[in-house]
Amino acid sequence: MKKIGLLVLIAALAVGFFYFDLNQLLTLDGLKSGLAQFDTWRDESPLLVGGGFLLLYVIVTALSLPGAVIMTLAAGALFGLLWGTVIVSFASSIGATLAFLVSRYLLQDMVQSRFGNRLTAFNEGVERDGAFYLFTLRLVPIFPFFLINLLMGLTTIRAFTFYWVSQIGMFAGTLVYVNAGTQLGQLESLSGILSPSLLLSFVLLGVFPLIAKKIVDVVKARRVYAGFSKPKSFDRNLIVIGAGAGGLVSAYIAATVKAKVTLIEAHKMGGDCLNYGCIPSKALIKSAKVAHQMRHAENYGLNSSEPTFSFKKVMQRIHDVIATIEPHDSVERYSKMGVDVVQGYAKLIDPWTVEIQRNDGDTQRLTARSIVLATGARPFIPNLPGLDEVGYYTSDTMWEAFAKFDEPPKRLVVLGGGPIGCELAQSFARLGSKVTQVERSPRIMGREDEEVSKLAQESLIQDGVIMLTSHSAVRCEKEGDVKRLILEHDGHESVVEFDALICAVGREARLEGYGLESLGIETKGTIVTNDYLETLYPNIFAAGDVAGPYQFTHVASHQAWYAAVNALFGSLKKFRVDYRVIPWTTFVDPEVARVGLSEQDAKDKGIAYEMVRYELDDLDRAIADSAAKGFVKVLTVPGKDKILGVTIVGEHAGDLLAEFVLAMKHGLGLNKVLGTIHTYPTWAEANKYAAGEWKRAHAPQRILNWLEKYHAWRRG
Ligand SMILES: Cc1cc2nc3c(=O)[nH]c(=O)nc-3n(C[C@H](O)[C@H](O)[C@H](O)COP(=O)(O)OP(=O)(O)OC[C@H]3O[C@@H](n4cnc5c(N)ncnc54)[C@H](O)[C@@H]3O)c2cc1C
């Protein structure tokens, strides 16, 4: 009841404010026209006018009414810099605190009880850092102050803390605005605008947020580095931990721009991609594809034959491929570039010092002005009872282990229906394993549109994969040599016997053991970074799988550029990492490639789009290759040729996508793709035909009707 009374009072005051046109008074024009009158009143009874002004300011702020900025300028004009600042400083803080209290009284219980669980972390954050957070919001006026007052009322920050932090935080801004107001009072003619002191005041208004932001950054940096003593000089400009895609590119950039850089790798140069990921999996896919083509040689007018092969040789080829690429990522190559490569395990000691447990047994400490963490990710192992007893493989272990096999596993279980699981399941099925693929959700490759998952699923099933979607692995059992996986589906259990099991249920960032914990670097599944890839410590950066949100080699390299450049030149200019156009491909056959929005994404996010499709069974080259399966699907802005996203399913989809990636990156629309000559007969023509579909759908009907009439007239 009391709350309703308060609400009615606030509403009545707000209505009164607008009814009596007080809002007109609180405009620049209103202020200027009334200034002379106010001046007279102030001269007659300064205390009364000062007190009345303070009260009005408090009411305007407490009721979150518009006009506080004008009133601040007015304070300068009426009372001068000193008294204007004193009045506004107190009035704004008292008014803000009243608004804060009203919001707390009316809404806090409701908000906290409704969203309490989800607000726990936020409340903890406010309790720990609320004062500082409020201080930065006050100092850098990005959000309107009335919003801050109301939102802070919903948190658990103490009212007194809110008051004094607000008063201190707003002081600098108040001073700048009141000062501008003092000049406004002297603005009598247009030429007054050019007076140096007025110009200076406006310049101050403009640069104030920048200066304030800089101050906040300095204060923040001081807070995080408090307790550490910064070395007076550094051994290196940059230390990079991890020599996968993210680390290699970071070190490469640093060496290219002549920085002194150390790259530390605990295990194998090249990281996951070269040794356990992209490269071995793609080499395996190739062998499997050849086996598949032999089996289906009749598609090309040849005799089909069941491929006979030595699995050892297939695995040997994979290791040969790795060995051939290895020099690209080798210690020798990077040393020649000027990178100091150290093989050993690195650990952060403080924000500038790294200790290395070298592989040769020595321990070494190095300091650097900046550090890039590119420590990658590893396979996630589900908590499945009995899994350790039956034994399992992951992408980390399978390449070495399978190299010792004479034949591919007879009965193979692949846990996981993501890209890695799908690529491996199809490859081993093609090489003759009886593969059972298990996916908990209703479809594989759940990140893609439903029709894409369906096509991929059909293709895998055609290759012999037993596809168990909507099946959860419950436990593993072992009886003598017999290994079993128990699954649950629709409330029923079923059993799959297997000889080998590969876990491909996702990858988790490496977050423990190298100092993140002791330095308090925040992690949430990956290392928490800002838009510049800075961690909690602005001189420590993260890139690649350990930083997320994507887990691709090309994204790791992309991030590495930002991490390295910001690490080396951030004090001059920092660059925000740009995730606008991120392509990826899943190398199942047919390939699935995507950039930008999928249809499902667009629907989920409520983004308006138009869609055009081109079916590959129409493409001359696809028909000639007996691979006329799949499509190019392009999402565009309604009525425009601007590309929002592309999905391609088909042979060479990953390569075809590049044209759209370029177009999106550089703002080229479908008209430009259509206007580009594509060699005949190539797969790339599919892109042009998709653009043609868009053009057809947007043909200017009225002009065409006129043209028809024109030609009829010409025929006479
Ligand atoms: C089977 C499979 C297939 C894949 N296929 C593709 C694909 O086709 N295309 C694609 O784009 N991506 C693919 N990926 C993903 C790709 O491999 C990763 O995204 C990429 O390797 C990430 O690079 P990174 O530099 O972040 O990490 P990593 O390559 O994992 O490198 C991190 C390195 O840091 C080292 N390290 C960690 N901690 C320390 C420490 N404290 N001190 C010293 N060194 C340390 C590790 O030993 C490791 O070498 C695939 C992955 C897998 C598993």
Report the alpha-carbon distance of residue 412 to residue 298 in Å, rounded: 28
Instruction: Let me know whether 353 and 368 are in one domain.
Output: yes
Q: Residue 673: what residue type?
A: V
Q: Is residue 40 part of a domain?
A: no
Instruction: Let me know whether 163 and 70 are in one domain.
Output: yes
Centre of ligand 1 from the C-alpha of residue 708, in Å: 60
- The answer to whether 396 and 258 are in contact (CB under 8 A) is no
Instruction: Let me know whether 462 and 495 are in one domain.
Output: yes
Question: Residue 549 maps to which CATH number?
Answer: 3.50.50.60
Report the alpha-carbon distance of residue 678 to residue 658 in Å, rounded: 14
Centre of ligand 1 from the C-alpha of residue 560, in Å: 13
Q: How confident is the model at residue 205 (pLDDT cuts 50, 70, 90)?
A: low
Please give, one letter per residue, the 3-state secondary structure of 135-202. Answer: HHHHHCCCCCHHHHHHHHHCCCCCHHHHHHHHHHHHHHHHHHHHHHHHHHHCCCCHHHHHCHHHHHHH
Q: Is 130 left (phi over 0), alpha (psi -120 to 50) or beta?
A: alpha
pLDDT at 10: 77
Pocket of ligand 1 (CB under 6 A): 241-247, 264-267, 271-273, 276-278, 281, 345-346, 374-377, 395, 420, 510, 514, 544-546, 551-554, 556, 587
| Most ligand 1 atoms within 8 A of CB, residue of 321, 393, 553 to mutate | 553
What is the number of the ligand 1 atom nearest to the C-alpha of 379? 53
Beginning with the edge strand found earlier in the chain, give each strand of the sheet holding 492-498 in spatial order. 472-479, 482-489, 492-498
**Minimal-distance CA residue to ligand 1 atom 48:** 271
Q: How confident is the model at residue 117 (pLDDT cuts 50, 70, 90)?
A: low
Q: Percentage of residues in the chain with pLDDT exceeding 70?
A: 92
Instruction: Let me know whether 418 and 346 are in one domain.
Output: no
Q: What is the pLDDT of residues 93-113, one digit of tens each?
A: 999 999 999 888 888 777 767
Give mean pLDDT, residues 67-79: 86
pLDDT at 679: 98
| Most ligand 1 atoms within 8 A of CB, residue of 375, 505, 514, 592 to mutate | 375
Instruction: Let me know whether 327 and 412 are in one domain.
Output: no
The pair of structure tokens assigned to 109 is 């219980």
- The answer to whether 596 and 644 are in contact (CB under 8 A) is yes
Q: How confident is the model at residue 560 (pLDDT cuts 50, 70, 90)?
A: very high
What is the number of the ligand 1 atom nearest to the C-alpha of 587? 8
Q: Is residue 259 part of a domain?
A: yes
Please give, one letter per residue, the 3-state secondary structure of 526-570. Answer: CECCCCCCECCCCCEEECHHHCCCCCCHHHHHHHHHHHHHHHHHC
Q: Is residue 170 part of a domain?
A: yes
Give mean pLDDT, residues 303-332: 97
Q: Is residue 39 part of a domain?
A: no
| Most ligand 1 atoms within 8 A of CB, residue of 273, 329, 424, 577 to mutate | 273
Q: How confident is the model at residue 69 (pLDDT cuts 50, 70, 90)?
A: confident
**Minimal-distance CA residue to ligand 1 atom 15:** 552
pLDDT at 189: 45
**Minimal-distance CA residue to ligand 1 atom 3:** 277
Of 457, 472, 506, the residue at which a domain comes to its end is: 506
**Minimal-distance CA residue to ligand 1 atom 50:** 277
Centre of ligand 1 from the C-alpha of residue 546, in Å: 9
Centre of ligand 1 from the C-alpha of residue 280, in Å: 13
Quickly count: other Cβ atoms within 10 Å of residue 662's Cβ.
Answer: 14
Centre of ligand 1 from the C-alpha of residue 306, in Å: 36
At a CB cut-off of 8 Å and minimum separation 6, what does 129 contact?
none
Instruction: Let me know whether 597 and 695 are in one domain.
Output: yes
pLDDT at 153: 86
Q: How confident is the model at residue 193 (pLDDT cuts 50, 70, 90)?
A: very low
Q: Is residue 709 part of a domain?
A: no
Of 522, 542, 570, the residue at which a domain comes to its end is: 570
Q: What is the pLDDT of residues 494-541, one digit of tens each?
A: 999 999 999 999 999 999 999 999 999 999 999 999 999 999 999 999
Q: Is residue 575 part of a domain?
A: no
What is the number of the ligand 1 atom nearest to the C-alpha of 545? 26
Centre of ligand 1 from the C-alpha of residue 545, in Å: 7
Tally the domains of the chain: 4
Q: What is the pLDDT of residues 591-608, one digit of tens each?
A: 999 999 999 999 999 999
What is the number of the ligand 1 atom nearest to the C-alpha of 273? 17
Radius of gyration from C-alpha coordinates of the chain: 33
Q: What is the pLDDT of residues 84-96, one digit of tens each?
A: 999 999 999 999 9
Centre of ligand 1 from the C-alpha of residue 215, in Å: 38
Q: Is the pLDDT of residue 163 over 90?
A: yes
What is the number of the ligand 1 atom nearest to the C-alpha of 278? 5
Q: Is residue 455 part of a domain?
A: yes
Beta strands in 311-469 (DSSP E): 340-350, 353-358, 363-373, 377-379, 411-415, 434-438, 466-468
Centre of ligand 1 from the C-alpha of residue 575, in Å: 24
Half-sphere exposure of 653 (CA within 13 A, CB side): 30
What is the number of the ligand 1 atom nearest to the C-alpha of 544? 26
Instruction: Let me know whether 516 and 501 are in one domain.
Output: no
Average model confidence (pLDDT) for the chain? Answer: 91
Report the alpha-carbon distance of residue 70 to residue 31 in Å, rounded: 8
Instruction: Let me know whether 197 and 89 are in one domain.
Output: yes
Instruction: Let me know whether 49 and 165 are in one domain.
Output: yes
What is the domain extent for residue 684?
590-702
Among 527, 515, 417, 404, CA closest to 472:
417
Buried b (16+ CB within 10 A) or exposed e, 420-455: bbbbbbbbbbbbbbbbbbbbbeebbbeebbeebbeb
Q: Is the pLDDT of residue 291 over 60?
A: yes
More confident residue, 12 or 361: 361
| Most ligand 1 atoms within 8 A of CB, residue of 272, 355, 521 to mutate | 272
Instruction: Let me know whether 61 and 203 are in one domain.
Output: yes
Instruction: Let me know whether 371 and 401 are in one domain.
Output: no
pLDDT at 190: 43
Q: Is the pLDDT of residue 194 over 60?
A: no
Q: Percentage of residues in the chain with pLDDT exceeding 90?
A: 72
- The answer to whether 620 and 607 are in contact (CB under 8 A) is no
Of 483, 506, 529, the residue at which a domain comes to its end is: 506
Centre of ligand 1 from the C-alpha of residue 244, in Å: 5
Centre of ligand 1 from the C-alpha of residue 271, in Å: 5
**Minimal-distance CA residue to ligand 1 atom 6:** 278
- Helix, strand, coil: what percent of the chain each, to 5? 55, 15, 30
Centre of ligand 1 from the C-alpha of residue 536, in Å: 23
Centre of ligand 1 from the C-alpha of residue 529, in Å: 18
More confident residue, 159 or 185: 159
**Minimal-distance CA residue to ligand 1 atom 31:** 244
Q: Is residue 576 part of a domain?
A: no
Instruction: Let me know whether 276 and 287 are in one domain.
Output: yes
Centre of ligand 1 from the C-alpha of residue 161, in Å: 46
More confident residue, 183 or 475: 475
Q: What is the pLDDT of residues 352-405, one digit of tens each?
A: 999 999 999 999 999 999 999 999 999 999 999 999 999 999 999 999 999 999
